[in-house]
Amino acid sequence: MRKYPIPARTTRVETVVVNSRFIATTGRADTVAEAKQFIQVVRDEMPDATHHVYAFKVGYGGSVTEGMSDDGEPSGTAGPPVLAVLRGADLGDVVIVVTRYFGGTKLGTGGLVRAYGGAAREAIAALPIELKIEKQPVGIAVPYSFYERLKLLLAGHQALITGEEFAADVTVYAVLPVDQVASLEAAISNLTAGQAALVRLDEPSA
């Protein structure tokens, strides 16, 4: 999967159900460790809350790692409805924490399921989305006479220059979308009549 939708930034939405406050904080988590860190940050921010229910979905499509917790609410009334909302959303690398401040009136199991699921749906509806695009780091060494034209080629292939070395030749390091690499490779070969080649560095990342 080269591209998929992910949270563009962290957002927070508050709902009130029978005097209980439900504060849903949603954000991006590329790994399980990042999801756990996000959850801990929310816990630390609101240490006096009654519960911090969470769910996360790391990855997208057929390769997903999920997690959830009822955090002291009756089993199955909090984490599962939040995770169900994430499963129903066309999103990857997402974590949501629904923080509850108890309002003095018990909601019952059905009420809790509706409240937590509703808070999660409100949060996802308010979440700005962007595409996660897999990037490839590359290196290209060219004679100085091709340097300026190489920079134009890189700009035309959505590449971000990350470093340059000036020696016998000039070596340019850049990161660009994976689906632009083959086209850039061909363009460099044409520009330099085969004198220069693109070298893929490390594994692609997002």
User: The dihedral of CA 35, 37, 38, 40: what is its sign?
Assistant: positive
Residue 65 Cα distances to 1, 31, 85, angstroms: 15, 9, 15
**Nearest-angstrom CA–CA distance, 150 and 189:** 11
Cα 23 to chain centroid distance, Å, stands at 21
Domain annotation for the chain: domains and CATH numbers: 3-131 (3.30.230.30), 134-200 (3.30.70.240)
pLDDT 10s digits, 128-178: 999 888 888 999 999 999 999 999 999 999 999 999 999 999 999 999 988
User: The dihedral of CA 75, 77, 78, 84: what is its sign?
Assistant: positive
**Nearest-angstrom CA–CA distance, 111 and 86:** 19
pLDDT 10s digits, 50-74: 999 999 999 998 889 999 999 999 9
pLDDT 10s digits, 18-30: 999 999 999 999 9
**Nearest-angstrom CA–CA distance, 132 and 145:** 36
Supply the pTM of this predicted model. Answer: 0.71
